[in-house]
Structure 1
Amino acid sequence: MEQHVDVPVLIVGGGPTGLTLACELARRGVACRLVEKALEPFSGSRGKGLQPRSMEVLEDLGVLDAVLASGALYPLMRAYAGEKVVWEGRMHEPREPMPDVPYPNGWMIPQWRMEEILRTRLAGYGVRVELATELTGFEQDEEGVTATLVHAGRTERVRASYLVGADGGHSFVRKHLGVSFVGETYETDRMLIGDVQADGLDREHWHAWVNPETRTPRVMMCPLPGTNVFQFVAPLAPDAVPELSLSAFQKIFDEGSGRSDVRLHDPSWMSVYRVNIRMVDRYRVGRVFLAGDAAHVHSPEGGQGLNTGIQDAYNLGWKLGQVLAGAPRALLDSYEEERLPIAADVLGLSTKLHQKTVRGEPDAHRRGKETQQLGLHYRDSRLARDERDSRGSIRAGDRAPDAPCHDAAGTPVRLFEAFRGPHFTLLAFGAAHADTVAHINARYGPLVRAHTVVEPGEPTGANTLVDTHRHARTAYDLDGNALVLVRPDGYIGLITHRPSDGSVHEYLRLVAASPIA
């Protein structure tokens, strides 16, 4: 029997991308449904690394403490020829937190645990992932999308204002839309990957047995933090027939490592991975959007895929929320405009790193700032407005830096704490903007939270942040009075030196719902 259900947003795919989007919408009070055709949650470690920018996103979503408690810094890598250690070092050289970058290091956490944390957060909003629920078709018109879902043999017709395909590299949504997925699948570049326990191997190192001539890996065992499991990875020969069994994994380990004293046991997940390097030519068709692996698939090198998907969702979520609250629909055009170039850049980076690994280059394991995703920007977006005659190193469209401040009572407040939540944030540098701050807060209510950022010793008030050590002004590279409007996703939308708040009002008319007051 068919039922008709109305929901503002239908999300297809219960992985990190879909879960991030659902959390972003739910905290805005936007009703959504999240469907996943799998019978149970993913149980493997396929993606295991979070980049610094994703850590900032997760702090805003309120799950970073759980992520930190469940993960760890990347372990020291140790390469062997047989039992002999031939190299030891780190993929990421640890960096100390800075005032503008509180999370400078990558963080390792198994994907299944990451998804579990996001599901728990989502459940706190009263939303659950609908497992064993498959999207089998959809049609759209000017007013919405009508989707067909099948669960336990029951067919349901769902009417949604918008549909988002976050359903992975084999995306049904993308294929049904007819969107191109341009790139290559390296059929001969395959690997076995799985989660296993191992006796006789320490958990302080990421172990890699390499071919001494080509420097390419034969087998790798990475301890997954918060578990008693290793992630097993071994390249497959081009003509090899993969076998997903413990005995096959053990044989490959024995031959690749030259050791006989390590016993693998209790596998919890096994898979064959083929290197795919593809991306869409469109992120949107009408009222249907693509995000995450449905829009771009990467080599695993550099840990970019999962993180790019999280940020697709973070970018799209606030825009859907604003449009559903009454903002101009043209705001949604900026999703593809901003995320498509990012996907292309990130795909190029992960491909370059993969090719270095295949060639066995000496520094192939090294990861620099380019993988952290802190420098990704939207400077060319229609949503980036920089009205200064002379622009500094930080511009509209850039990630908004963090900085330690304190309030009028002397309580420490980081800028990221001021940003946290679904609102826009206005930073008014200079005491001369006190009236502007009061006016913005009175007119826009919870939509915008405005703060005057002043030097130590200057007058303070209820909405004042004192730039304790001038880290804020330094991070934003500002001289004199300035207004900086930060979007809900932590990117700078507007920078202006104009003395009035007219530019702020003009900008908000384009990207936000009508003022509350």
Structure 2
Amino acid sequence: MTVVIAGAGPTGLTLGIELARRGIPCRLLDRESGLFPGSRGKGLQPRTLEVFDDLGVLDDVRAEGMPFPNFRLYSGTEIVWERPLHEMLGVEEPRVSPGVPYPKAWLIPQWRTDRILHDRFVRLGGKVEFDTEVTGFEQRPNGVTVSVLRNGIPERIEADYLVGTDGGRSTVRKLLGVGFAGETYETERSLVGDVRAKGLDGVACHMITHAGDVTKRFSLWNLPNTDYYQFVAAVTPQDAAEPTLDTLRRTMVERTGRTDIELRDLRWISVYRINVRMVDRFRVDRVLLAGDAAHVHSSASGQGLNTSVQDAYNLGWKLAAVLGGAPDALLDSYEAERMPVAAHLLGLSTEMHRRNFRPTTGPAPAIHQLDITYRGGPLALDDRAAKGQLQAGDRAPDGLLPDGTRLFDLFRGTHATVLTFGGPIEGYDLAAGTRVLVRPDGHIGAVGDVENWLRLVEGGGSGDLLPRLDVRSYALEVAGDRVHRVTAEHQA
């Protein structure tokens, strides 16, 4: 019983953790000689912080990152304005509440996120096999043979499933032959990378312009606990052909008119081309795709890494359940749930890219991903005649318990959780006696219809619930709109 994961970025590492903590053997391969060295996907959204809480890495992420700094617009050397992220988005300032413990985006360079996830995977007994590239695969009814080059030497690996998490240029996707429809913005190029900079004061997203036009900027983002900055600058195709420190310096002077800022010690640089594309299938038999291998889009609004992590979080418990004996059809729910999410977020990031920090009179974008739902999907069961605000498929909100712990403390781990409510509380507008099943990935699987959900997922017939999921049950006694007492019930 083995799962091969091709690609050790945030998606592959998250999936590796999800399998490893459930005791599912996996081979995590990467064609590179080590983890990605740059800051690329630097923003973590509130929902991803909740996922990382469950995976046991949130403390490290918070220790090695910082809240998003203010955006600061310059006209030459003059500061025109400075605004926090929520003002840039046109929304109210997010605040901690019982249902949302981490309401604000978090800034941390991707190389640190990757290292934190890698270390967690290793602590769980995993190992990333670097210098190992997938070159082909052959599917059979009961498995898949994966061909690789390990340090240039051919090798074949027998596996139950192969998951391609190998990025926007995914080899697995190309070999699978699925459609990858969309568009490439042929005339737009940006240089992105990490560099030291001298001549800037304060911690901010420094958007430097020649005359205050925010759409013509050279951006330098402070990165936490380091003197490096991430730079982002649109360039011509000619300059993109030579991504060097000299090109970067020349671009900054041309864009801003400033010669007082010294750029040095280029750590990483890449030419970024905007692609807006998505596969037409997330699964073909025993090969699945996740993250950028399945969908790519503009970096505007910071959705890419976050969406990729949550692909893996959705898929991991399902793969483990199927390998434990649950119906193979459970894996079909991965595509059914995640494809609409990816399509929506492609639209959101494209809208934000076109807006390009210009003011808008339309509705403010929701980039936090707390509102992602699987309502109407194959694993969302709700037997109420009149559904409330919270429905099957939604993210299960957090909540404070009488001893100061939280509902998230009950959810944390590899199990599903059944809650029996004594009445409504904040975030849960549920009548007394209502039972709610929270899936291992923190989404509500069932409201009321718990047994049928378990039969659906575990494959049991009537009265035959097979123990393929660890299910923990609690009764919540409610006084007013607060939980008064929590009682553990039978643990299936």
The normalised TM-score by structure 2 is 0.90
Match of residue 62 from structure 2: 68
Q: Write out per-residue CA displacement over residues 454-506 of structure 1, whole angstroms, 9 at most, x where no aligned residue.
A: x8xxxxxxxxxxxxxxxx7231111221000000000000101xxxxxx4232
C-alpha deviation, 1:233, in angstroms: 1.0
In structure 2, runs of 5+ residues without a counterpart are 88-92, 460-465, 469-491
Shift of 1:220: 0.6
Any idea what SS the aligned residue of 2:73 has? Answer: strand
SS of structure 1 residue aligned to 2:67: coil
Matches of 2:365 and 2:429 in 1, distance apart?
20
Q: Which residue of 1 aligns with 2:481?
A: none
Which residue identity lines up with residue 443 of structure 2 in the other structure? Y
Given candidates 436, 451, 457, the residue that maps to 1:511 is 457
Provide closer, same or farther for how the CA distance between residues 203 and 140 of structure 1 changes in structure 2, counting only shifts above 3 A: farther
Deviation by residue 1:249-272 (Cα, 9 ceiling, x = unmatched): 122222222222211111110111
> Residue 491 of structure 1 aligns with which residue?
443
1:83–1:258 contact (8 Å) kept in structure 2 = no
The offset of 1:238, in angstroms, is 4.8
Partner of 1:122: 121
1:108 counterpart residue number: 107
| Preserved CA contact (<8 Å) 2:75 2:212 | no
Distance 2:101 2:364 in 1: 17
In structure 2, what is the Cα distance between the partners aligned to 1:241 and 1:204? 28
How far is the alpha carbon of 1:48 from its aligned partner? 0.4
* TM-superposed deviation, 1:412: 2.2
Q: Give the Cα separation in 2 of the matches to 1:336 and 1:294.
A: 13
Which residue is equivalent to 1:30?
24
In 2, the alpha carbon distance for the partners of 1:504 and 1:361 equals: 47
**Inter-partner Cα distance in structure 1 for 2:364 and 2:62:** 21
1:52: which partner in 2? Answer: 46
Code of the aligned partner of 2:62: L
1:85-142 per-residue CA deviation (whole Å, 9 max, x = no partner) reads 2222122354220100011100010000000000000000111111110001101011
Provide structure 1 residue ranges, at least 5 long, that are not aligned to the other structure: 1-6, 431-454, 456-471, 497-502
The CA distance in 2 between the partners of 1:194 and 1:155, in whole Å, is 34
Could you list the per-position Cα deviations for residues 349-407 of structure 1 after superposition, in whole angstroms to 9, with x for gaps in the alignment? Answer: 000110111xx62359x99561100001000111000111111100000000000013x
SS of residue matched to 1:282: coil
Is 1:233 aligned to residue 232 of structure 2?
Answer: yes
Whole-angstrom distance in 1 between the partners of 2:268 and 2:98: 40
Taking the aligned partners of 1:179 and 1:213, their CA distance within structure 2 comes to 45
Helix, strand or coil at the partner of 2:218: strand
2:243 matches 1:244: yes
One-letter amino acid of the structure 2 residue matched with residue 254 of structure 1: V
Spell out the pairing of 1:76-475 with structure 2 (5 A cutoff): 76-93=70-87, 94-210=93-209, 212=211, 215-357=214-356, 361-363=358-360, 370-406=366-402, 411-430=403-422, 473-475=425-427
Compared CA separation, residues 241 and 205, structure 1 to 2 (3 A): closer
User: What's the CA shift for 1:78?
Assistant: 0.8
**Paired residue secondary structure (2:359):** coil
Give the secondary-structure state (helix, strand or coil) at the position aligned to 1:136: strand
SS for the counterpart of 2:425 is helix
Q: Distance in 2 between matches of 1:17 and 1:348?
A: 21
For residue 476 of structure 1, give the secondary structure of its aligned residue in structure 2.
coil
User: Residue 50 and residue 266 in structure 1: after superposition, are their counterparts in 2 closer, same or farther (change >3 A)?
Assistant: same
TM-score by length of 1: 0.86
Query: Would the aligned equivalents of 2:192 and 2:233 in 1 still touch at CA under 8 Å?
Result: yes
| Change over 3 Å in CA distance of 1:240–1:260 after alignment to 2 | closer
Rounded to whole Å, the distance in 2 between the matches of 1:209 and 1:507 is 54
Query: 1:239 deviation in Å?
Result: 4.9
CA distance in 2, matches of 1:310, 1:303: 13
SS of alignment partner, residue 204 of structure 1? coil
Residue 477 (structure 1) aligned with residue 429 (structure 2): yes
Give the AA of the match of 1:8: T
| 1:17 equivalent in alignment to 2:11 | yes
- The 8 Å contact of residues 235 and 251 in structure 2, kept in 1 or not, is answered as no
Kept after mapping to 2: 8 A contact 1:82/1:257: yes
Tell me the secondary structure at the aligned position of residue 412 of structure 1.
Answer: coil
Which amino acid is 2:64 matched to? S
Classify 1:242/1:79 alpha carbon distance in 2 versus 1 (closer, same or farther; 3 Å): farther
With over 3 angstroms needed to count, the CA separation of the structure-2 counterparts of 1:260 and 1:213, relative to structure 1, is closer
Name the structure 2 match of 1:459: none
Amino acid at match of 1:120: D
CA distance in 2, matches of 1:241, 1:279: 25
Could you tell me how far 1:336 is from its partner in structure 2? 0.4
SS class of match (1:475): coil
Which AA in structure 2 matches 1:413?
T
CA gap 1:264/1:239 in 2 versus in 1, 3 angstroms: closer
C-alpha separation in 2, matches of 1:231 and 1:241: 17
Instruction: State the shift of 1:327 in Å.
Output: 1.0
The 2-side partners of 1:166 and 1:423 are apart by 25
